[in-house]
Each structure stands twice: as C-alpha cells, then as structure tokens.
Amino acid sequence: MIVLGIDPGLALMGYGVISSADNKIALLECGTIVTKAQMPFPRRLAVIHENIKQLLGKYDPDCIAFEELFSGKNVKTVIQVAQARGAAMAAAFGTGAELYEYTPMQIKQAVVGYGRADKKQVQEMVRLLLGMEEIIRPDDAADAVACAICHAHTSRFSGAFRIK
C-alpha cells in the first residue's frame, strides 16, 4: 500500500509518501510545497494543486491521509489554510485513491501510543519507525509522514476515517 500523507498549510504544505507492507513501513519521499506570501492567493492555491498532482502522478498512492485542521485564533489564517487543503483535496479527488482524515490526537495515538504526545516525541517515533539517523525536517514534512504512518497503522479500521 502506498500512502500520501498531507499536513495542510498555505506557506508550507507538508507531504510524505510511504509504502506499507507486512507491518513494514518505508519512506519514499517527503518534503514541503512552498508558496510565497507575495504571490497572488489564487496562484498559491494553483501551486499547491499542481504539486499534489505531480506527486499523485509519480507515486499513484492507494490512499491519501489528510491531517484535520486545527482551528486557531486567527480566522483569516484558518480560512486560507482550509482553502489550501481544499486545493490539495481537489487534486486528489477522482484519482482512484481513497481520501482519509485524522485529527492531530489520532495521529499521535497511532504513531506514539499517546494522544497528547508532544511534537518531539512524534518526530522521534517517526525516526525510529523508519530506521532513520535523523528526524525529518522541516516539521511540516515530519507531520505529513506521521499522518501517513497513522493511516498505515489504522488502515484495517480506516472506514471510520474515510472522507465522504
């Protein structure tokens, strides 16, 4: 199973592609899609859409796991990140890949075993699960990989998390 994990963001959208078979997880690629604040907003959304389409074409994932949005105090920022997430979701829709979403607490529970784990604990567990020397940087990419691992760990129960 190939899983694309996405950590939504407008300036930085994290992504992580893993393969999962027989309880073994391997990292295929991770990184961030970067958009600059000086760019017109519709162009930023287009860049996200185009980059997600490229990843989909390259890896043809079976599943795409989105981290659910965290609602912060700044409503404008939340709306913009939601639109960025929508651009990624629109790119993914219709590809044949199933779409899922997980809360940050569900991701932490699946990866670390504790839903209130801090960011460093999650990053360290991702490093250990993948047998890596160093933790993944930047944080957005690490979060996306954690989201993909969450889906791999919970895939037999994934119907409850499928985006309908």
Catalytic residues: 7, 67, 140
CA dist., res. 44 & res. 12, Å (int): 10
How many Cβ atoms are within 10 Å of 127's Cβ, its own excluded? 16
Which residues, including other chains, have CB under 8 Å from residue 119's CB and lie 6 or more apart? 139
Residue 14 has phi, psi (to 5 degrees) of -80, 145
CA dist., res. 146 & res. 115, Å (int): 13
How many Cβ atoms are within 10 Å of 34's Cβ, its own excluded? 15
